[in-house]
Structure formats: C-alpha cells, structure tokens
Amino acid sequence: MSEIVKAQAPYDLQVEHYHGDVLGIRTATPRISWKYDGHVADGDEVELEITLHMPGREGKTESIMTEPVNNVLFNWPLDPLVSREQVEVKARLVDGDSKGAWSKPLKFDEGILEYWELLAGFVGPTWPEEKTDHRHLPLIRHEFSLKDKPVYARLYLSALGLVEGHVNGKEMSKDILTPGWTCYDDRLECWTYDLTDDLNAGENAFGFYLGDGWYRGRIGFKGGKANIYGDKIGVFAQLEVTYSDGSSEQIFSNSHDDTWKSAKGPITQSDLCEGERYDSHLEKDGFDQPGYDDSDWYPVAQIPFDQRKMEFPILPPVRATMVNKPLSIKKIREYDGKADWQIDFAQNCTQRINLHITNAKDGDVIELQHAEVLESDGTLSTRPLRRGQQIDQYVSNGSEAYFEARFATHGFRYAEIRGWRGDLTADDMECKVYFSDMKQTGTFESSNKNVNRLDDNALWSMRSNFVSLPTDCPQRDERLGWTGDISLFSPTAAYFYDVEGFLSSWMQDVAHEQKRLGTVPFYVPFIPYAEWTEPQGIAIWGDSSVRVPWAIYMASGDKQMLAKQYSAAKAWIDEVKGYLSEDGVWDRKPPYSLGQLGDWLDPNAPADDPVKAMTEKNLVATAFYANSCDMFVKMGHELGNDAEADEYSKLAAHVHLGFKKRFFNDKGIMTSDTQCAYALAIAFGLVDDDPETKEFAGHRLALLVRRAHGKIGTGFAGTPYILPALTETGHMNEAYELFLSEECPSWMYQVKMGGTTTWERWDSMEPDGSVNPGVMTSFNHYSLGSVADWIHATVGGLKPTAPAWHQFEVAPRPGGGLTSAKASHETPFGTAKVEWTYEAGKLSVSVDVPYGATAQVDIPGYDKVELRDGHYESSFDYQEV
Ligand code: BGC
C-alpha cells in the first residue's frame, strides 16, 4: 500500500550547514538547501526569492527559478556577498501560473570577510599574573555613548582564552566556552551577536569575564601543560552599529584610548578539568552597566595576534538546550549547622549545576564536586578523574545568588554539594546539559528497553564529547581530540546529529596538524606529552583523515567539503604507502614505544596494558589501510578525479591481496584466529573476491562467538564491525546472541550495570559494582558505542547507500525476540523512516521516503524493491532469528 501526498510548501531552508537563522557566516557564495513536505509534480519549478541589503539600507529582491531536484546545496545564484550583507531567502513551488505557498523565510548575515576589517585588538589585564596555574581571572569593561538607539548592531567577539560577554547588565548570549578550541596557531573563531535590542541611546557598557580555557590553562594528562598557546589572555570585541539615518559607528577593544579597563574579578581560579573557585566578595557589582565607578581599575594591555588567523565559525556554539532533574538528593553528613548532600542526576554527561544559594552566611564556602559513578561504599568515584577533580567552590558574601562555573565543564551523573545550610531540594538547582548545539537528525526505538538504553547511551556519549571538538572523554584530565575514537564513531555520529559543520571544522585542524607534523597525530590539536611526544602514523587514528570526511560526505553529500579534505586524505594514503612491505602489508613498527595501538582495549588484553591485544597489529593496520584506500578511491570518483582514482585502486587491490596472502592460511584460518580479525576481513570486503573464503570466515567468526558464549572479544578496532560481519555472512543468531548478551564483556552488560553512557572499557565497572582499578577508566567514551550504527541499519533497518541519503537501504532483520522497532533520519532530502512490527511469522513494515531519494527494500526471501518518495506499508512472511 502506498500513499503519495502532494508537496505544499518547501520547508527547512538552510544556508550551508547552519540550522535556522544565523549570523556571521564565512562564505561569500553560500549554498542554499530546502526540503519538500510531499511529492513534487513533474514540471513544477522552484522560485527562490532572495532579498539582500546592507545594514540600515533599502534592500533589493531577486527571484531565481530552478528545478526542484536542486534542493540540496544549491549553488549561490547571485553575485558574491560582501561583508555584513544581510540576506533573506524564501522558496515556493510554481506550476505555470499557479504558485504554491511561501516557505518560512531564512535569514542570515555575512561575517567580516576581509581580515583588515577586523580592527579591534585583544585586550587583557596589566597586572603581573601567576606564571601558570590558578591565576586570578580578570574582568574587562568599557563604557561608550551612542547618539541614538541603533537600528542594527553586531558585536564580533573572540578571545585568547575564553570569554563571557555582558552588555548593559545582561549576558549577551547563552553560549559558553567562546570562542572554542581550534589550533590557535592557525585559526581562531570570531562569533557574531545581534545587540540591536540591548543597546540604548546615550550611555552603554560592556563587561567581559575572561577565562584561561585551552589557550593558557592546563590541558591534558600526565600532569598536563599550561600556557600552550601563550600566557596572556584577552578579549576581542568589535561593535558595529547603524542608526535610522543610515549613519554608522564602530567601537573596538583597544589599549590606547584608555577607555577599556581591567580588574581582578570574583573568579579566583579556574581550570577546565579541575574546576573553578568563585569569591562573591570580589564581585564588581554593576561593572557591566553604565555609570559604574572604575576609577580604581587598571588599564588594559594589548596582546598581539595575527588577525589573518581569525575566521567566522562553521560549527554551532556550545550551549545548554537540555536540563537534567535530580533523581535523588540525600544528606550524607552534618556538621556546624551545615550539611553535605549527594545528588543523583540520573544521567551521566557534560553538564553544570546552576545552584540557587539562598541561605548561606558570609564566609561560607559551598563546594560542588562531580563524578560519573559511585564507589562501592557510596562515595563519589574521583580517582579515575586523575588531576581533573571537578571541584567548584563558591565563597558566599551572605547574599542570595545563583552560582554556576563559567570556564570549567564537568562530566558527571553524581554530585556532592558540601557546606549547605538548611534543606537542599530540587528547586535549588538546575542542571544544564552542554554540547555544541547541532541539530539532532536520528532517532531509534524498539520493543526492547535495554536495546533502547544502549542506543541512548551512545547518543549521550556523543553529546558529552561533542563540545567544541570531538573528544575522547568529558571528565578526566584528558578531554583531547583523539583521532582514533572519532575515526570509528563518525558514521554513528552522522546518523544521530547533523555533524557536518562541527566535524568539518575540526577536520580543518586535522589537516593543519597533519601538514605541520608530517603525519596525522594521535589527537588534534596536538600537544606533546610523555610517550606521545613524537607523532607517528598509526592505523585507525591516522585513518581519521580519510574516514571522517567520508562519513560526513555520506551524510551530507557535500562535495565542496570533500574536495577540501581530499589532499589531506591523499597525503595520509601516500604516507602509509611508504610504510608497506612489498606484499602490501603495513608491518613497519612505528618508532615510538607503544607501536600501533591495534585493537586497543581488547577485553582479553592485560588490564594494565591495553595495547597487548590478541589480534596482530599488522593485520589490523593493513585492514584499515585497505579500507581507507577503498574510501579514497571512492572520494576520487565522487570528485571526478577518475584517472587518479583508477591509479589508487591498483594500490587498494595490492593491499587487499597482501592482506589475504599474509593473514589467511590455505585452510581459510586467519593468523590471528580472533573475532576482530574475521570481522575486519569480512566487513571491509577483503575477501569479497573469494566467496568460499568469505563464507568460511563467516562460519569461523560465528564459531568464535559461540565458543565465547556470546561474550565480545574485540576492542576499539573490531567492535564497530563484528555485528555487520556476522550479519553480512548470514549469522544472525550469533549476531543477536552477542548483541543481547549481558555477561561481561558485552554491550548489554554496561546497560545491566546501570550505565547511562558508553564506557571506555567493557568492564569500567566490575560485576561486583566496583570501579575498574585501571588508571584509564572512563564511563563516557563513545568508541564502543559505534554498535549503534548496526542497531540503526539492522535492527531499525535504515542505512544510507549513497551520499546525502540519496539512496538508502531498508533492511530490518528482526531477531532476539524483538517485536517492533522504528528508526528515522532527517536526511538532506527530508525524513527517511522505517517502522516494523513482528508477530506470528508476519513482518509488517512501513517506510517513508522523502522526495528526491529512493529506498531499496530488502527482506529475506523477497525480491528487492525500489521505492520513490511516499509512505508505504507492506507485510511479509518472515522467520525470526
Ligand atoms: C584515550 C583514548 C585514545 C587512547 C589512545 C586514551 O587515553 O582516552 O580514547 O584513543 O588513549 O591510546
């Protein structure tokens, strides 16, 4: 049964990969996308009405006609835009003389495109500061007068360090961690705020809190390092206003006109991981308002920074869009009229408590500490946090106040609030969840609540670690852009959220570091620590240069992004080519102590030595390299570089052959007879040209799973591929047995043990509830959550098979006692959705295909069917596995 509804109006207009209206974009020829809410009749056209104007001036409107199929990343049809130009776009369907309804308009502003127009300076404190940690943080203020209330006002804001901006007594935005972490030696983001409603005729004031952040704060493990990028922090603020008479004015942060001032503020120390100390006695009440007496404030110093490195962001800001409520609040200690309380927020993630303090006495110190889990004795488990103890302190002056850390973030589910007077209730706090505010695109739900929780755990680990850049973990003193973790997780991430802007932004840093260091480093931005001081090309982590852009491209279909990443991907492929033995196997040991990381955190490796995985490292490295070569060849074809792609397909074939010859014996047994080895060989298509070996490999893998009684034996490398490999070779029983096993190690073990995020180790928590004693124990690493990609594709039944989901596969494989599931993804064309129920041998499936895409329905025992846009429902005879 099918249902086709006629499209009424285009919706979800989008410029580049920003969602909704946006200020300060960086490209002069932005692409526009839109979607249809139904079927577009043959012969219809699309009219785009584009209105352009400069601030405070009359606009001009242009009308552009185009074919409906051009709705994904339609090239800018007019002259290139100039700095500050304001644009409004709407779209409608046109059928001859009959015109459809207009879409909701999309509005955006250009940023400043020429660096010489960024005229402000970075200004910071002038007093002698501590050399490294725990510096008393500065406030910066500036008062200015406007001849009238402006009709247009933009603030271009950035910082060396972190900044929170206030105007006339109020926060400018809800963004935190501005400007975010990038390779500051190469690029620094400049954010745009609309202050039109906040400014007044006459006197106005800016107030800025500055933080150390990644710029000069202590970052990383093994003691970390401070002052990575410099030891002076400062704010960059450029205000541009236009009045109703068309005249305009600019105001710049600077150190020469003596109108920008600095003073020590209430934050007496702050560290991203360790936490923050705030002394309310040191508050400068009203410093962000006009009329404040700053006669005892210091002048500011200007910190030199090359404006050519400043750019307007392509990723969304970090802000809170969700709140977690306490599940329980209990008093754990009482003393001197005060008490310590422990709160369970039910969900582990990156969040901060906003505490309403009403009953503190002058001099009271209220301390908040945060942890992911509890020790067996009920205390916060703080050992795994290492240096990053996540402690905030508020020193009260006896007045009512709201306190939330500004320049630290915390990864936690549990918190203790110490030194509180009276009762502590849920009304005293709000726990705000922070991540880069991307648009969620993927959903999944099934009849099995543990499966749903597992999928949700991967989603929460993604949120927790997509904070300005993709990190390994959000809690301990590490929080680095480890390339291997996202190399494996990027397809899953691209299902859950629109990650195009976020990941492309970080890929710029990857390409920069790759060029600077001659290889793709272990993490980006790269900072030398201990044994990681000399970056060496290693598989998976280095493969991120190919794998991440490919995953983004499959989700978005953005060829411009792919073209930008192409040379970095090629550099990686060429680099590793030089490490291969003659037979095409990557067996060179990188010259640093750990060598390849291989199937990192294989559960059968010694707990204190996660590199000692059971699967040969050369096998893992060669398999991933073969897969990267295949992706690179596809990239070449997508970009029309066919000759080069053909050239590299010979390299790919050579590596495939080398892999087979070196790692399979003539009976089809692999040299590493492990789950990981067969999973990679099958999932990467390394035995596709030899059906017998492939079938054997499938049987062997299934046998290994049965022998392990459903326990998983893979680490980082094998985990995303073991269920796809079992599925592809038809071993659905073993796939579900492994997937649903609750024994340690397994995915469901984490769920059974109450995990609300994906753990770093299969056994981050031991079966007796104790925390794994290893120094590397996190409860919030997304890598093992890459299984969610299989959940969406195989349990849900939804998987892209062409870039931008132009084509996708609907191939649910119900099993494991599940009776229903639904999965949906908001593709660039619109919503792709599958829902199925299974009862007594009957599988009922409904599918939604957006206009512009096609779906291939693949149900065992039935011919494959291709569906164009519409809503479809069918039933099949199906034997559950
Ligand atoms: C990180 C990882 C990372 C790994 C590399 C760990 O400390 O947390 O997730 O990929 O090191 O060895």
Rounded to an integer, what distance in angstroms lies between the CA atom of residue 732 and that of residue 388? 43
Q: How confident is the model at residue 134 (pLDDT cuts 50, 70, 90)?
A: confident
Average pLDDT over residues 88-97: 96
Euclidean distance between CA atoms 555 and 571, whole angstroms: 23
- Distance of alpha carbon 602 from alpha carbon 597, whole angstroms: 10
- Which whole number is the average pLDDT over 166-175? 98
- Helix (H, G, I), strand (E, B), or coil: what is residue 726? helix
At 524, the amino acid letter reads V
The pLDDT value given to residue 593:
77
| Spatial distance between the Cα atoms of 733 and 754, rounded to a whole number of angstroms | 26
Separation of CA 478 and ligand 1 centre (Å)? 9
Three-state DSSP class for residue 462: helix
Instruction: Render pLDDT for 148-157 as a digit per residue (tens, 0 to 9).
Output: 999 999 999 9
Q: Is the CB of 776 under 6 A from ligand 1?
A: yes
3-state per-residue secondary structure call for 86-97: EEEEEEEEEECC
Would you call 390 exposed, middle or buried from its count of C-beta atoms within 10 A (0-12, 13-18, 19+)? buried
d(C-alpha 678, C-alpha 728), whole Å: 12
| 732-740 helix and 719-728 helix, angle to the nearest 10 degrees | 150
**Alpha-carbon span 255 to 186, nearest angstrom:** 24
- What's the farthest any 2 CA atoms get from each other in the chain? 86
Q: Is 523 near ligand 1, meaning CB less than 6 Å away? A: no
Is residue 592 within 8 A of residue 534, CB to CB? The reply is yes
Closest ligand 1 atom to residue 541 Cα is 10
Whether the CB-CB separation of 474 and 468 falls below 8 Å is answered with no
pLDDT tens-digit map of 465-481: 999 999 999 999 999 99
Express each pLDDT in 702-728 by its tens digit: 999 999 999 999 999 999 999 999 999
d(CA 561, CA 568): 12
472 Cβ closer than 6 Å to some ligand 1 atom: yes
d(CA 349, ligand 1 centre) in Å: 18
Q: How far is the CA of 547 from the centre of ligand 1 (A)?
A: 18
As a whole number of angstroms, the distance between CA 402 and CA 474 comes to 24
Q: Is the CB of 600 under 6 A from ligand 1?
A: yes
Q: Is residue 142 over pLDDT 90?
A: yes
Distance, CA of 763 to CA of 603 (rounded, Å):
8
- Give bridge partners of residue 322 from the DSSP assignment: 433
| Phi, psi at 402, each rounded to 5° | -110, 130
pLDDT of residue 503: 98
Average pLDDT in the chain: 97
The 10s digit of each residue's pLDDT in 6-56 is 999 999 999 999 999 999 999 999 999 999 999 999 999 999 999 999 998
One-letter amino acid for residue 296 of the chain: D
Q: How far apart are CA 277 and CA 584, in angstroms?
A: 56
Structure tokens at 367: 């301390």
pLDDT in tens, 820-866: 999 999 999 999 999 999 999 999 999 999 999 999 999 999 999 99
Among 219, 221, 465, 485, which residue has the most ligand 1 atoms within 8 Å of its CB, making it the best to mutate? 485
Determine the Cα angle at 271 with ends 270 and 277, to 5°: 30
Question: Which pLDDT does position 856 carry in this prediction?
Answer: 98
Average pLDDT over residues 482-505: 98
Residue range 118-131, pLDDT digits in tens: 999 999 999 999 98
Look at the alpha carbons of 609, 613, 616, 622 in this order and tell me if their dihedral is positive or negative: negative
Whole-number percent of the chain with pLDDT over 90 = 95
Enumerate the active-site residues.
Answer: 478, 760
For the four alpha carbons of 251, 254, 259 and 261, in that order, the dihedral sign comes to positive
For residue 329, which of 426, 422, 411 has the smallest C-alpha distance?
426
Whole-number pLDDT of residue 1 = 63
How much is the pLDDT for 380?
Answer: 98
- Over residues 306-365, the pLDDT tens digits come to 999 999 999 999 999 999 999 999 999 999 999 999 999 999 999 999 999 999 999 999
Compute CA 136 distance to the chain's CA centroid, rounded to the nearest angstrom: 31
Kindly give the distance from the C-alpha atom of residue 391 to the centroid of ligand 1, in angstroms, as a whole number: 24
**Above 90 in pLDDT, residue 574?**
yes
If you measure from the C-alpha of residue 494 to the centroid of ligand 1, how many angstroms do you get, rounded to a whole number? 21
| 369 burial via Cβ count (<10 Å: 0-12, 13-18, 19+) | buried
Q: How far is the CA of 767 from the centre of ligand 1 (A)?
A: 23
**What is the mean pLDDT of the segment spanning 476-493?**
98
Q: Which of 219, 480, 541, 600, when mutated, tests ligand 1's pocket best, judged by the most ligand atoms within 8 Å of its CB?
A: 600
Write down the pLDDT at residue 646.
98
Tens digits of per-residue pLDDT, 349-374?
999 999 999 999 999 999 999 999 99
Pick from 472, 592, 608 the residue to mutate for probing ligand 1's pocket: most ligand atoms within 8 Å of its CB.
472
Q: Which atom of ligand 1 is nearest to the CA of 610?
A: 12
φ, ψ of residue 738 in degrees (nearest 5) = -65, -45
Q: Which amino acid is at 479?
A: R
3-state secondary structure 772-823: CCCCCCCCCCCHHHHHHHHHHHHHHCEEECCHHHCEEEECCCCCCCCCEEEE
Six-digit token pair at 233? 């922090």
Q: How far is CA 449 from CA 215, 483, 600, 755, in A?
A: 43, 32, 29, 13
Taking CA atoms only, the protein residue closest to ligand 1 atom 7 is 776
Ligand 1, atom 8, lies closest to the CA of 472
Encoded amino acid at 248, one letter:
S
**Cα dist from 438 to 18, 144, 318, 468, 597, whole Å:** 9, 35, 9, 11, 31
Residue 817 has pLDDT above 80, yes or no: yes
pLDDT attached to residue 231: 97
Least confident of 1-5, 130-134, 666-670: 1-5
Res 432: pLDDT: 98
Looking at residues 386-404, what average pLDDT do you find? Answer: 98
What token pair was written down for 538?
A: 């290693």
Phi/psi region, residue 43 (left: phi>0; alpha: psi -120 to 50; beta: rest), is left
Instruction: Assess whether pLDDT exceeds 90 at residue 642.
Output: yes
Its pTM surpasses 0.95: yes
Q: How many CA atoms lie within 13 A of 144 on its CB side?
A: 25
Task: Please report how many Cα atoms fall inside a 13 Å half-sphere around the Cα of residue 641, on the Cβ side.
Answer: 17
pLDDT value of position 473: 98
Q: Per-residue DSSP letters for 618-673?
A: HHHHHHHHHHHHHHHHHHHHHTT-HHHHHHHHHHHHHHHHHHHHHHB-TTS-BSS-
Closest atom of ligand 1 to CA, residue 597 = 12
CB of 598 shorter than 6 A to ligand 1: no
Cβ neighbors of 41 (< 8 A, separation 6 or more) are: 6, 95
| Torsion from C-alpha of 81, 86, 92, 98, nearest 10 degrees | -90
Distance 776 CA to ligand 1 centre (A): 9
The pairing of strands 10-15 and 32-36 is antiparallel
481 lines ligand 1 (CB under 6 A): no
| 330, 155 contact by CB (below 8 A) | no
